[in-house]
Amino acid sequence: MRFTFALVGAIALAGVATTASARDYLSIAGSSTVLPFATIVAEQLGNNPSFNTPVVESGGSSVGKKGVCEGIGTEFIDIGNASSRMKTGELEYCDSNGVDLTEIKVGYDGIVVANSKEGTPLVISKAELGMALTAEVPACADGSININCDTWVANPFQKWSDINPELPDIAIRVYGPPTTSGTRASYAEMVNQKGYCGKEAMAKKASAARGDKKGKKCRAMRTDGAYIEAGEQDNLIVQKLQEDPSAYGIFGFSYLDQNSDTLQGAVISGTNPTFDEIANGTYSVSRALYFYVKHAHVGVVPGVKEYMAEWVKHWGEDGALSDSGMIPMPQAERDQYLAAMNDLPKLTADMLK
């Protein structure tokens, strides 16, 4: 076996001798939410005979942000995609590797709670949604729920109507993404943390009582079967909902958009998950999509600037990206990031605050 490895190594070395030349295609990796849009742009760039089609890898936001920071050189990716903004800690990793980045926001993605059109439509507030799916809710020691109590108990709600009699009288069953997903992280932050523990009077008070003023401990989703992890594939959730009208699901807006004839989105705190309401900011369960460009690769790997220019061509209201479910930014923001593409300002910790 030893000499086997020696042989493999020798062949690989021979391979290196011939392949360690400059890469002539862009290498991009990161968020699986950004991927469907990044691939559309990449394909458009590839149609231009002067450029190869960029290679777009999946892997999740963390792979995109970490990967782009790993170092300078053609063996590292040029651009990292992310559906959550870079954190200062992640930027420090970049700095420690001597990598300078520019942050480009490309658009928004709504997160919807939806079910089959044959089922009962859900009209619900963010706080109620938080109550339905957060792992722990505040209660009194005897289990009753009262504004003055702040003991945290495992979520007791079995039916939607237990939370509010106006909600459907069916068991709470929601399919959603697993812990590795950026969609889930954003959902938990926007609904469980900010919408419920940060706002609803009782949960807010109880959170403060356990030294968790920001409600971060509320991010955990239920694990008792009411919230069902259905894997990273949103299509799977869509299929489950079509088969089972009593279940609800959490996924990206583009999947609702593609299946608008069989699925309906829940009205959350009086706002509808429609293209227009997400775009103008009325529907608040949405997050921004980013990519991070490595300065050292601009002008070295062919096509970085052109790839960015291709985003600009398609990120508008009538562009190919909105057709696939990405929510465009307002004109002012588009102008701002268009300028950033030209000037390439270095991303600093101050900008992330």
Partner 1 sequence: MTDPRRDMISPAVAAERVATGLAARRNREKRFQLYGRIAIGIALAFLVTLFVSIFSKGIPGFFQHYVTLEVTLDREKLDPTGDFSVQSLYDGDARGVIRAALYEATGASGRSGRKAAGKLISQGAEQRLRKAVLADPSILDTTQTMTFAVDDDVDSFLRGFIKRETPEKDRRINDKAIGYIDTLVEKGLISFKFSDYLVFGSASRNAEMAGIFGALIGSILTLAVCLVLSFPIGVATAVYLEEFAPKNRITEIIEININNLAAVPSVVFGILGLAIFIGVFGMPRSIPLIGGVVLALMTLPTIIISSRAAIRAVPPSIRDAALGVGASRVQTMLHHVVPLAMPGMLTGTIIGMAQALGETAPLLMIGMVAFIVDVPGSVTDPGTVLPVQIFMWADFAERMFILKTSAAIMVLLAFLIVMNAAAIFIRKKLERRW
* Chain residues that interact with partner 1, rule: CB under 8 A: 1-4, 7-8, 11-13, 15-16, 18-20, 23, 25, 27, 29, 32, 35-36, 38-40, 42-43, 46-50, 52-53, 55-59, 73-75, 77, 232-235, 254-255, 257-261, 320, 324-325
Q: Which is nearer to partner 1, 32 or 193 (CB)?
A: 32
For the chain, where are the E strands, in sequence order? 27-30, 55-59, 79-82, 101-116, 123-124, 136-139, 151-154, 174-176, 227-229, 248-252, 263-265, 267-268, 286-294
* Integer Cα distance of 199 and 169 in angstroms: 25
How near is the Cβ of 184 to partner 1 at its closest, in Å?
A: 16
- Asked if 241 contacts 113 with a C-beta cutoff of 8 angstroms, the reply is no
How near is the Cβ of 43 to partner 1 at its closest, in Å?
A: 6
How near is the Cβ of 3 to partner 1 at its closest, in Å?
A: 8
- Let me know how long the chain is: 353
How near is the Cβ of 161 to partner 1 at its closest, in Å?
A: 27
* Integer Cα distance of 13 and 166 in angstroms: 69
How near is the Cβ of 69 to partner 1 at its closest, in Å?
A: 15
| Greatest alpha-carbon span in the chain | 73
Strands 151-154 and 227-229: unpaired
Q: Which is nearer to partner 1, 75 or 166 (CB)?
A: 75
What are the angstrom distances between the C-alpha of 179 and each of 60, 184, 189, 229, 335? 11, 7, 13, 8, 35
Q: Which is nearer to partner 1, 90 or 257 (CB)?
A: 257
Read off the tokens for 6.
């020696």
Q: Which is nearer to partner 1, 38 or 137 (CB)?
A: 38
How near is the Cβ of 21 to partner 1 at its closest, in Å?
A: 9
Q: Which is nearer to partner 1, 146 or 179 (CB)?
A: 179
Q: Look-up: residue for tokens 């490595």?
A: 294
Q: Which is nearer to partner 1, 215 or 265 (CB)?
A: 265
How near is the Cβ of 246 to partner 1 at its closest, in Å?
A: 21
3-state secondary structure of 252: strand
Gyration radius of the chain's alpha carbons: 23
Q: Which is nearer to partner 1, 52 or 151 (CB)?
A: 52
Q: Distance between alpha carbon 315 and the CA centroid of its chain, in Å?
A: 18
DSSP 210: T
Give 101-160 as a DSSP string.
Answer: EEEEEEEEEEEEEEEETTSPPPEE-HHHHHHHHBSEEEE-TTS---TT--EEEE----BH
How near is the Cβ of 307 to partner 1 at its closest, in Å?
A: 13
Q: Which is nearer to partner 1, 249 or 325 (CB)?
A: 325
